[in-house]
Structure 1
Amino acid sequence: MEKYLEIFKNSYHGYFNYLWSEITSFHWENYFYGLIILSLLVWSLELLFPWRKNQKVFRKDFWLDTFYMFFNFFLLNLIVLIFLSNATEALFDDALAYIGLSIESFHLFDLNSLPFRMGLLIFFLVTDFVQWNTHRLLHRVPFLWNFHKLHHSVKEMGFAAHLRYHWMEPIVYKSLLYIPLAIIGGFDVEAVAIVHFTALAIGHLNHANIGWDYGRFKYVLNNPKMHIWHHAKVLPKNAQYGVNFGISLSLWDYLFRTDHIPHDGRDIALGFDGDENFPKNFVGQTLYPVKTKQRNVS
């Protein structure tokens, strides 16, 4: 127990110092200002090349989504996520040690032993494929879907909708990523930052009010014209759990036949069945899965 109290203290103190240094000093690897600059760039593209020309500059729930961006990207880590991540890692390591194993015993190979670009590509492909499968689980498992509904409560798409999600989602994603990343070994901080910001940029663009599909690259990269159908309120009868689950890559959807782009989806209705009863504010949306579970029990 003392070990985990120490992890809690170090996680909270360490991330607070990190976040404060990010806010008070500008440097080229700064996540805080990197998110702001990226968001402003994608928002500028929305204003210069709007797909839905009648959509307002400050679309429906613009400020709520902006709050979610900073809450999920920074405050959530400070409040709970860093501690949970570190505690889960320690718990897993302790469980392996109890049966005489270590995390190193799972390593099939070390990415750092490969040429940087090859290692970076493998790291990107593995993380994106695991996240694609995790995304499918969020739609297919009722318990997880109640959390993921928050992301699908968006009624007008814009770049900031990318980071409107429940705080439970990154816990699920990080937990399911832990073993695959352990298998391929560690990778340096620079590579993780590159993959992270690449995924962040693609995710912002996927949710932006931009009618791009990237031409021939649409079969590899997820894109706004594809992702809009993921948020469609009316789903095809043979895919009631969802379509177009790609995070950064569309490749997995085409390979496993979960792709669906029947026509230009610019003006399709977004949301999910029954979303008119979904809470409209942060507190209500955060508590929704708990209250839904309570109603189901009663």
Structure 2
Amino acid sequence: MEKYFDIFKDSYSGYWNYLLSEITRFHWENYFYGLILVSLIVWGLELLFPWRKQQKIFRKDFWLDTFYMFFNFFLLNLIVLIFLSNTAEAFFNDILGLVDLHVSNFQLFEVNKLPFGIGLLAFFLISDFVQWNTHRLLHRVPFLWNFHKVHHSVKEMGFAAHLRYHWMEPIVYKSILYIPIAIIGGFNIDDVAIVHFFALTVGHLNHANLGWDYGPFKYIFNNPKMHIWHHAKVLPKHTKYGVNYGLTLSIWDYLFKTNHVPHNGRDIELGFHGDESFPKKFIQQEIYPIKTNN
């Protein structure tokens, strides 16, 4: 138990010092200023090339989603995620230790032993595929869907809607992603930063007020014209749980037949059945899954 108390203490003090360093010191993999820079660039594209021209610059819930961005990207780690992440890793290693095993025994390969481009691509593809499957679970498991409703409560799409999600979601994503990433192993901070900023940019673009589909690359990369249908309030008759689950890549949806782009979805209604009664404010949205029995 003392070990886990030390993890608790070190996690918070370490992340607090990291967060201060991010804010006060600029470097190329700086997540704090990276988030601001990517957000400003994509917002600028929205203003220059708006798809829904009648949509206001400060669209519905713009400031709520902006708060979500910084809360989920930074404060959430400080409050809960960094401790849970470090504890889960230690607990997993302790379980393996009981049977005299180690993570290294399960490693298929190490990214840093592959040629740079190949290793980075492997890390990206594995993590994106695992997250695609996790996203499907958020829609298929009623308990998880109640948390995911926060993201689908967006009624007007814009770049900041990308990071409107309940604090439980990254716990689910990180927990499921931990073992596959441990199995490949050997990736460094540069690998993580490149993949992270690329995924962040694509995610912002997917939710932006932009009418792009990237031409033939739409079969590889998720895009605004495809992702708008993921947020459609009225689901197609052939599916019960949703469509277009891709985060960064669309290829998984095309491979597993969950793709759906029937026509230009610029003006479709967004949301989910019953969203009229869904809470509109941050605190109420955060406690909604705890209060509801739906």
Could you say which TM-score interval applies, normalised by the shorter chain? over 0.9
What are the equivalent positions in structure 2 for 1:91-240 lying under 5 Å apart? 91-240=91-240
Match of 1:29 in 2: 29
Say yes or no: does 1:49 pair with 2:57: no
Following TM superposition, by how much is the alpha carbon of 1:101 offset from its aligned partner in structure 2, in angstroms?
1.1
TM value normalised by structure 2: 0.99
Give the Cα–Cα distance (whole angstroms) in 2 for the partners of residues 29 and 243 of structure 1: 33
Match of 1:5 in 2: 5
Give the Cα–Cα distance (whole angstroms) in 1 for the partners of residues 29 and 219 of structure 2: 30
Give the Cα–Cα distance (whole angstroms) in 2 for the partners of residues 282 and 29 of structure 1: 29
Q: Number of matched residues?
A: 294
Match of 1:252 in 2: 252
Superposition CA RMSD, Å: 0.7
Query: What whole-Å deviation, never above 9, does each CA across 1:211-242 have from its counterpart, x for those lacking one?
Result: 00000000000000000000000001111200
What are the equivalent positions in structure 2 for 1:68-87 lying under 5 Å apart? 68-87=68-87
Following TM superposition, by how much is the alpha carbon of 1:181 offset from its aligned partner in structure 2, in angstroms?
0.9
Secondary structure, counterpart of 1:109 in structure 2: coil
Following TM superposition, by how much is the alpha carbon of 1:117 offset from its aligned partner in structure 2, in angstroms?
0.4
Query: What whole-Å deviation, never above 9, does each CA across 1:174-222 have from its counterpart, x for those lacking one?
Result: 1111111111122011011100000000000000000000000000000
Whichever residue aligns with residue 79 of structure 2, its letter is I
Give the Cα–Cα distance (whole angstroms) in 2 for the partners of residues 210 and 43 of structure 1: 10
Following TM superposition, by how much is the alpha carbon of 1:27 offset from its aligned partner in structure 2, in angstroms?
2.0
Following TM superposition, by how much is the alpha carbon of 1:111 offset from its aligned partner in structure 2, in angstroms?
1.2
Give the Cα–Cα distance (whole angstroms) in 1 for the partners of residues 186 and 272 of structure 2: 39
Give the Cα–Cα distance (whole angstroms) in 2 for the partners of residues 125 and 33 of structure 1: 26
Query: What whole-Å deviation, never above 9, does each CA across 1:43-91 have from its counterpart, x for those lacking one?
Result: 0000000000000000000000000000000000011100000000000
Give the Cα–Cα distance (whole angstroms) in 1 for the partners of residues 104 and 235 of structure 2: 44
**Identity, % of aligned pairs?**
76
4+ aligned runs moved over 4 Å, structure 1: none
Unaligned runs of 5+ in 1: none
Give the Cα–Cα distance (whole angstroms) in 2 for the partners of residues 38 and 160 of structure 1: 11
TM value normalised by structure 1: 0.98
Whichever residue aligns with residue 8 of structure 1, its letter is F
Give the Cα–Cα distance (whole angstroms) in 2 for the partners of residues 186 and 113 of structure 1: 8
Unaligned runs of 5+ in 2: none
Secondary structure, counterpart of 1:238 in structure 2: coil
Whichever residue aligns with residue 253 of structure 1, its letter is D
Secondary structure, counterpart of 1:57 in structure 2: coil
Secondary structure, counterpart of 1:149 in structure 2: helix
Secondary structure, counterpart of 2:292 in structure 1: helix
Give the Cα–Cα distance (whole angstroms) in 1 for the partners of residues 262 and 95 of structure 2: 48
